[in-house]
Structure 1
């Protein structure tokens, strides 16, 4: 008898009998030939198989959008693929409820664009902790539990920002990022809208339950306004590079940093004030987000040009924009070193000087690596991911300067 394995694109692997012969030494049957037909699916489907994510979140099935089969991969450094693979593996579990919840969680996590969400979490925690570094006598462990709902609200408004952008960019993403949940068919537009409304309302409810003061609530609502109209008409700030490079830093750096520091100090009964480290990190992060707002478009030139989104990358080309972004960041690092030299009492020079020199050299190395790769889509995505890591490192360093 003989076993061979064949593959059906609709039903998966099928086992067919195959010939066996008895061993001369015992009566066990051992296979003498096994044939495996070469799988003809694209690499993504070979790895993950057919999606069983429900048409609604909790019941039913639907066929994944065929564009998923394109040879597109998520930018290097994103760990959402491993989460999705794990979820799909677990979907065969004997507990259907757990499998559905796991699938929902993995897709929602991917919907959040993890690299950006991680930065929001890290920066919020570091800004919160910096207030206690400057006022150690006020620290009490129960304050961490009181602040945790505020962190959840920040994550939800950040998720709202990212989700609204994906909803209004769905046609562009079918060209530039077909692996994202909406163009890939993992989430419908109706489901995406439900999630965004949920994020918005729960975030506002948390602020209400925390009895946030008028200034804190106003900063939060202003962030929601810019998050919405960055992508949504009639303003759609992202359509033009100038407005995008203003609104993105304003929302993700200025409002975010000021809001977290103000809310933390207000909860402790402290007046708001700008310490040199807070001024430094806000200025540094604002310039960094200016760079991120132009570098993020390196991989999206094709779709942006098709839908008349006039980004700097589409107008001037990836090489010139990379040169510009790298130059701005080098000014950032040079400014950090200069601030340390001219304000030795405000900063710890033994940390600031070597750290920013290393970061600057690392940036130059990665920019040169991108140039050698001739600004391919994959190399550009890797460079963009690298910049987010540099920004995260800066916020962690902020705690010790």
Structure 2
């Protein structure tokens, strides 16, 4: 009898009814009876639950003092709630087993979502934004009237964007694929370094984006577009792959030339030619704003190539990469880049002031003055010794590059 009551106190959290003499009397579970303490020893094996002799004696003594409380009415506001046990009881014909509740297994959608998030990080989206904004900005330079912004113009622009974005993803992918061990120190959150992507998955994405970009560049029948896509492909490969005469990122000068080759030469020259001759159908003739863009982007691309190593000093030194930050020190490199950009903004404002168009003067002078003020304010707030802050500043320089692309179409 006592054994059955003790068992119910562990398995029941609701009141039961007992028919007695024609009246229905509500019985309280023992766990809800004030003063009743059912002490038991923790079972050593979850598959077998046997009360010891001492435990049975304690329960008997407690029952003899409190058995009268079993028939007490239950108050609606009873605060003596039963203790919840973090086990699920499973009774069979042979034994009662107590097992921890199993957690819900990961759903298919959550796995897909995790891979998509990793793919987003893998593509280094801030570089894609720069590529998209840059191509749109340069493609607007040859436009002379609003009527030229026709559906055929935007279709030709789309043909330029698709393969270039794909080869941009290849550029970021091949860089991560060849830098897994370094990224485990410098950027452990990247998909390959963190293990979210396997080496096979990273290789598949890299190969697929490269082949798709080159194929579309050839199919769209625009030699400047194909030249642009192939140039980015070869520069990105030479920058990252560890083969004789390659791995240009190991040299600060070749790394700068790589970024200059893409941002300052390939995008302005190739995509201006694509827009002017193969979208608008006019003879190719490079204008002064195009050469200004080449000069400005050469400087800002050089700054990006140098300042990107500020948060990576530890990893570069561990693997023998002699970046300017590891050779000359973080502070010297940081302020040299800031002063260089400030001088470049001053030169850009002066160039804009020479134009005969009043709107160009106002936008270029005020625009570059505002950008230089923002740059100076941001630079003064950076703690150069903190990797996170120098990484944020590096990404901030990319935003300045995006902002410049918004100003470039106003040069006439």
Alpha-carbon offset, residue 212 of structure 1: 2.3
Alpha-carbon offset, residue 27 of structure 1: 6.9
2:158 paired residue number = 148
Is 2:212 aligned against 1:212? no
Q: Is the 2:354–2:361 Cα contact (8 Å) retained in structure 1?
A: no
Give 1:315's match in structure 2, choosing from 327, 330, 338.
327
1:129 paired residue number = 140
Q: Per-residue displacement from partner, 1:244-271 (whole Å, max 9, x unpaired)?
A: 1112111232112212111111212122
Q: Is the 1:128–1:260 Cα contact (8 Å) retained in structure 2?
A: yes
For residues 3-152 of structure 1, what are the structure 2 equivalents within 5 Å?
26=77, 92=107, 96=108, 98-132=109-143, 134-152=144-162
Alpha-carbon separation, structure 1, partners of 2:215 and 2:396: 35
SS at match of 1:271: coil
Alpha-carbon separation, structure 2, partners of 1:33 and 1:280: 74
Q: Is the 2:277–2:284 Cα contact (8 Å) retained in structure 1?
A: yes
Alpha-carbon offset, residue 20 of structure 1: 9.2
Q: Is the 1:117–1:158 Cα contact (8 Å) retained in structure 2?
A: yes
Cα gap change, 1:20 to 1:153, in 2 (>3 Å): farther
Alpha-carbon offset, residue 158 of structure 1: 0.6
Cα gap change, 1:361 to 1:23, in 2 (>3 Å): farther
For residues 180-191 of structure 1, what are the structure 2 equivalents within 5 Å?
180-191=190-201
1:324 paired residue number = 336
Aligned length: 323
Alpha carbon RMSD of aligned pairs, Å?
2.9
Please, which runs of 5 or more residues in structure 1 have no aligned partner? 3-18, 36-51, 53-90
SS at match of 1:375: coil
1:293 paired residue number = 305
For residues 249-288 of structure 1, what are the structure 2 equivalents within 5 Å?
249-267=260-278, 268-288=280-300
Alpha-carbon separation, structure 2, partners of 1:139 and 1:323: 42
Alpha-carbon separation, structure 1, partners of 2:85 and 2:252: 58
Please, which runs of 5 or more residues in structure 2 have no aligned partner? 1-8, 11-30, 34-72, 87-104
Q: Is the 2:122–2:173 Cα contact (8 Å) retained in structure 1?
A: yes
Rg larger in 1 or in 2? 2
Alpha-carbon offset, residue 142 of structure 1: 3.7
* TM-score, length basis structure 1: 0.73
Give 1:366's match in structure 2, choosing from 366, 369, 378.
378
Alpha-carbon separation, structure 1, partners of 2:116 and 2:84: 43
* TM-score, length basis structure 2: 0.72
